[in-house]
Amino acid sequence: MKHLITLAALLLPAAVDAQDLERGEQLFWMHCAACHGTEGRGDGPMAPAMLVQPRNLTVLAAENDFVFPTERVIRRIDGTDPLVSHGSEMPVYGPFFAVDDTPTKTETGQPIMTSSPVVDLVAYLKTLQADD
């Protein structure tokens, strides 16, 4: 048993940091760009039809003292922190992305479980953040 715990401790950091930016970008284009726009600025072709305008995803870190709000973003995607848009909840992709259990870390370093597609999508969203 002690060896299993040691093995898990050695493997966890690698799993936490595992991400696929290319897959994250593909997921963004497939599921997010219609509302949030191709650059994540909230100007997608569906935006004019929405009662609540899509967020500009490029300023998430800037609006949070330049710390990307990983936990909040994960919870919006998986539906555990729903957002009202177009008179109803933002599409909840959690069940669609729930292909596995993947650990990642919040902005405070706290471990959180999600799925590998969500980890990849969040990693891609981090690349869209404005520097100023």
Question: Is residue 16 assigned to a domain?
Answer: yes
Question: Is residue 35 assigned to a domain?
Answer: yes
- CB within 8 Å of 16: residues ≥ 6 apart: 103, 104, 105, 111
What average pLDDT does the segment 48-74 reach? 93
Question: Is residue 85 assigned to a domain?
Answer: yes
For the question of whether the overall pTM of this predicted structure is more than 0.85, the answer is no
The total domain count for the chain is 1
Question: Is residue 70 assigned to a domain?
Answer: yes
Given a contact cutoff of 8 angstroms between Cβ atoms, the answer to whether 17 and 5 are in contact is no
What average pLDDT does the segment 42-67 reach? 93
State which residues form the domain around 53. Answer: 2-127
Question: What's the rounded Cα separation, in Å, for the pair 103 and 22?
Answer: 19
Question: Is residue 132 assigned to a domain?
Answer: no
Q: What tens digit of pLDDT does each residue of 62-115 get?
A: 999 999 999 999 988 887 776 655 455 566 666 777 778 889 999 999 999 998
Question: Is residue 49 assigned to a domain?
Answer: yes
What average pLDDT does the segment 110-128 reach? 94
Task: Give the CATH number for residue 119.
Answer: 1.10.760
Helix (H, G, I), strand (E, B) or coil at 112: strand
Question: Is residue 54 assigned to a domain?
Answer: yes
